[in-house]
Amino acid sequence: MNAIIDIANTIFQPLINLGAAPLMTIVLTLIALCFKVKPTRALEGGLKLGIALTGIGAIIGILTTAFSGAMTDFVERTGISLNITDVGWAPLATITWGSPYTLYFLLIMVIVNVVMLFLNKTNTLDVDIFDIWHLSIVGLFAIFCGANLLIATLLVIFIGVLKIINSDLMKPTFNDLLNAPDSNPMTTTHMNYMMNPIIMVFDKIFDKVFPWLDKYDFDAAKLNSKIGFWGSKFAIGIYLGIFVGLLAGQTPTEIFSLAFTAAVCLELFSLIGAWFIAAVEPLSQGITDFASNKLKGRTINIGLDWPFIAGRAEIWAAANVLAPIMLLEAIVLPGNKLLPLGGIIAMGVTPALLVVTRGKLIRMIVIGAIELPLFLWSGTLIAPFVTETAKKVGAFPAGLNADSLISHTTMEGPVEKFLGYLVGHASQGQIEFILYAILALAAYLLIFVWYARQMKKRNAAYAAEKATM
């Protein structure tokens, strides 16, 4: 096993050291060349993807930094004792990539993906290798809780296979949300969409119990066309900035600065989201030609990072409403020790809500509020592991007290973190944890199977609708 880890590090470490944007530029360019796209067009698509990733990362950094300062002021003003610091996703990615096991898990999942493609068990080629850290952190947490490498690997493969299957299930919905043709290759294996099965349970409850709420729902884009600026992303950002600034007791100057920062960031998210679509256009044509000539029309999808769907206004409208809800829940939720700072804009929550509800904003907000405690409890649970690992790899944030715990409020895959905890402790031979782990894994798989059936019904409806057009 150590030999495999060494091989994985030798192969991938030089690429990973380049950073996410250069890495994905190289990956997308090489894949496009493999599909016989002209070199200039292949490089153009790769560069556009690198630019899009850099842009989205910069905007996320600006937004979370601005709100983290306001939330810190809120803590100092109120004296609320939530002693785990929410550092956002970037430090956690750094921490995870500091482990040699992450590259090992990456190599394993590359092999699994290729085998699934060869056996025709998926149509998705996952190129978003940087985001393997979301899956790796589950395996690392399982090891932290007592699992050996073999058990952790099996857990990673189990979840990873379901992630790849899910990318195929979601593909028609992405086409619908983007108003894109079937030839569009974009889908995603991102961990945040593994909340889909749980969200769909609540969505079906809505169908049975609260269908009348849908008549009050509204489309964020249509709202913008009706009321203009006051329903725009600019205005939504201003509302949120003023609300949080008032909670933090900031000065008028600070409040307006926060409001304008949020307004700019939300509008730029929509613009940058369109860059992802432009980035994969050369590859899309290459895949279409290849499938027609070599695979007898078989569709090959490309698994990207989630922000290619970031242009949908519902993601940010729901995130803005959920931000103050999450803050209130964090204050009153039993067992939570984590105050939302870096994760106050819930990007780990709202994309999955968008896919399952297909943009029904009231459902997104209500179901999001129901599921947020899972994220807060998961972040609290994983804090000792995150803190210890950060100190080992030299990534503990400067300026924090050495005794402080760190984590992330809206870290993708909260349910998977609980699975890592149970599997890790079960590996120690404790009967109670073995039973809990078996039941949890069985429930996780069964609800996914049920969800897959629901998505196949939806996809059949999409196909039938297109057949009549």
Gap between the Cα atoms of 240 and 320, Å rounded: 6
pLDDT band at 448 (very low <50, low <70, confident <90, very high): very high
Q: What are phi and psi of 127, to 5 degrees?
A: -100, -5
Q: Which of 122-126, 169-173, 381-385 has the lowest mean pLDDT?
A: 122-126
Task: Give tens-digit pLDDT for 283-316.
Answer: 767 766 776 566 666 778 888 888 788 778 788 7
Determine the average pLDDT of the residues in 6-24.
Answer: 69
Structure confidence by residue, pLDDT tens digits, 39-64: 898 898 889 878 877 887 777 678 76
Q: Does the pLDDT of residue 139 top 90, yes or no?
A: yes
Using alpha carbons, list the distances in angstroms from residue 85 to 32, 136, 339.
42, 22, 7
The answer to whether 419 and 439 have CB atoms below 8 angstroms apart is no
Is the confidence at residue 155, as pLDDT, over 80? yes
Each residue's pLDDT tens digit, 72-113: 777 677 666 677 878 777 678 777 877 778 878 988 998 899
The more confidently predicted of residues 38 and 262 is 38
Q: What is the pLDDT of residue 20?
A: 64
Confidence of residue 406 (pLDDT cuts 50, 70, 90): confident
> In this structure, what is the dihedral angle of CA atoms 388, 390, 391, 394, given to the nearest 10 degrees?
160
Mean pLDDT, the chain, as a whole number?
Answer: 83
Q: What is the pLDDT of residue 351?
A: 93
Cβ pair 321, 220 in contact under 8 A: no
What pLDDT is stored for residue 103 in this prediction?
Answer: 78
Q: pLDDT at position 294, please?
A: 66
More confident residue, 78 or 420: 420
User: What is the percent of the chain where pLDDT is above 70?
Assistant: 83
Q: What is the pLDDT of residue 292?
A: 58
Nearest to 236 by CA among 157, 135, 319: 319
- What mean pLDDT do residues 194-198 have? 96
Q: Does residue 231 have a pLDDT over 60? A: no
- pLDDT score of 221 more than 60: no
pLDDT at 385: 93
Break the chain into its structural domains and give their ranges.
1-468
In the predicted model, is pLDDT for residue 223 greater than 60?
A: no
**409 and 343 in contact (C-beta within 8 Å)?**
yes
Residue % of the chain over a pLDDT of 90: 32
Chain Cα centroid distance, residue 37: 29
Q: Is the pLDDT of residue 452 over 60?
A: yes
Residue of 314, 308, 311 whose CA lies nearest to 223: 314
Residue 75 exposure: Cα atoms within 13 Å on the Cβ side: 18
Per-residue pLDDT tens digits for 268-280: 866 776 676 677 7
Highest mean pLDDT: which range of 244-248, 288-292, 338-342, 453-457? 453-457
Q: Residue 463: its pLDDT value, please?
A: 86
Q: What residue type is assigned to position 43 of the chain? A: L
| Res. 412: pLDDT tops 80 | yes
Confidence of residue 116 (pLDDT cuts 50, 70, 90): very high
Q: How far apart are CA 78 and CA 28, in angstroms?
A: 48
Pair of tokens at residue 311: 């242009």
Choice between 364 and 239, residue whose per-residue pLDDT is larger:
364
